[in-house]
Structure 1
Amino acid sequence: MKKVVISLFALLAGTSFAMAEDAGCEAFKWPVTREQALFAAAPATPAGAELAVGAAADLALVPAEKAGFTLPPERAPAQGTFGAVASVDVPAGGAIQISLSGEAWVDVIQDGKAIKSAGYSGVKTCPGIRKSVRFKLAAGPATVQFSGAKKAELKVAVLTPE
């Protein structure tokens, strides 16, 4: 009888874990299905490149101390982490959503000033997507800084919020 109870418990626990794993992406405050599709075919992109709104890039990062940040990141990067600077042309309306495949800090700079995020959602149980951050900006050029990444590559999607 004990073996049956333990096996049933293990089966239910495994099912619950699998369901939680599948539901991981649903835990974001907004849908991330566009990012999932874009990340699958994100082209390799060097640091310093322009990020297109409506697309994703597999961004090559450099050691944080060599990233050439325009302003110091809001959260100082730990020793041995990676970063990059990129640009984006913010569309009319000014709202953008930047989603990342892994852990990293995102700063957006416009007109020489760091812009506070307008919304944030982060989930550790969504395969391939770690966080999504929204910003309200003026239309025109902006600088995006990524810092504190533990790996030298980071998939990044820049979208208009749904």
Structure 2
Amino acid sequence: MKTIVISLFAILAGTSFAMAADSGCDTFKWPVAREQALFAAAPAAQSGAALTVGQAMDFTLAAVDTISFEVPPDRAPAAGTFGATASIVVPPEGELQVSLSDEAWIDIVQDGHAVKSAGFSGVKTCPGIRKSVRFKLSAGPATVQLSGSKKADLKVAVLTPE
């Protein structure tokens, strides 16, 4: 009888661990391990900073009503929230993956227009990373607009999709 109880416990424990892993970072539509590693050592940045593909920054956000967005955010930010802008040079491949440590809205503006996202993945149970959004862009300069954050700090990673 002990063997059966211990075996049943081992099966249930294994199932619980698997379910816990599935409810965390593994449930993103694509891997986010690179972002997690970059977030751990992200240097501080202010609104207006230049982002580099393959790196992360730890932004100190400003009150959203004090930010001069190039175009109005696609989702109007609530009063009392925070935001920032950053410049980036899009590589010739044109695909970017922007990941955030917490909830906020991401717009990428290129040639004076907001570019619709090509993919989105978000998980509330992954420590240190909340969402990841993919964009198909033209090579050249672009502006990343962050808005609607309830917190005054936000880590942002910009990578090419795996």
Tell me if TM exceeds 0.5: yes
AA of the residue aligned to 2:117: S
Kindly state the Cα deviation for residue 20 of structure 1 after the two structures are TM-superposed: 3.9
- Tell me what 1:5 maps to: none
Task: Quote the Cα distance in structure 1 between the aligned partners of 2:159 and 2:78.
Answer: 28
CA distance, structure 1, for counterparts of residue 152 and residue 18 of structure 2: 31
What is the root-mean-square deviation in Å for CA atoms of aligned residues?
1.6
Deviations 1:44-95 (Å, cap 9, x if unpaired)?
1111000010000001110000111111100000111000011110001100
- 1:110 is matched with 110
Contact 1:108 1:142 in 2 (8 A): yes
Contact 1:93 1:139 in 2 (8 A): yes
Amino acid at match of 2:34: R
**Unpaired segments of 5 or more residues in structure 1?**
1-7
CA apart distance, 1:41: 0.4
Cα distance, 1:133–1:101 mapped onto 2, change above 3 Å: same
Match of residue 128 from structure 2: 128
- Following TM superposition, the consecutive aligned residue runs of length 4 or more in structure 1 with deviations greater than 2 angstroms are 18-23
Contact kept in structure 2, 1:94 and 1:136, CA below 8 Å: yes
Identity %: 68
**Judging changes above 3 Å, is the alpha-carbon distance between structure 1 residues 60 and 20 closer, same or farther for their aligned structure 2 residues?**
farther
In structure 2, runs of 5+ residues without a counterpart are 1-7
1:22 counterpart residue number: 21
* Structure 1 residues 79 and 21: alpha-carbon distance in aligned structure 2, compared to 1, 3 A threshold: farther
Matched with 1:147 is 147
Aligned to 2:4: none
Aligned equivalents of 1:27, 1:37: Cα separation in 2: 18
Distance in 2, Cα, partners of 1:19 & 1:80: 39
Letter in 1 for 2:72: P
Q: 1:67 to 1:20 in 2, by over 3 A?
A: farther
C-alpha separation in 2, matches of 1:22 and 1:55: 26
CA–CA separation in structure 2 for the residues paired with 1:143 and 1:40 = 24
Number of residues paired by the alignment? 151
TM-score norm. by structure 1 comes to 0.88
Partner of 2:65: 65
Q: Deviations over 1:96-144 (max 9, x none)?
A: 0000000000000000011000000000110000000000000000001
- Paired residue for 1:3? none
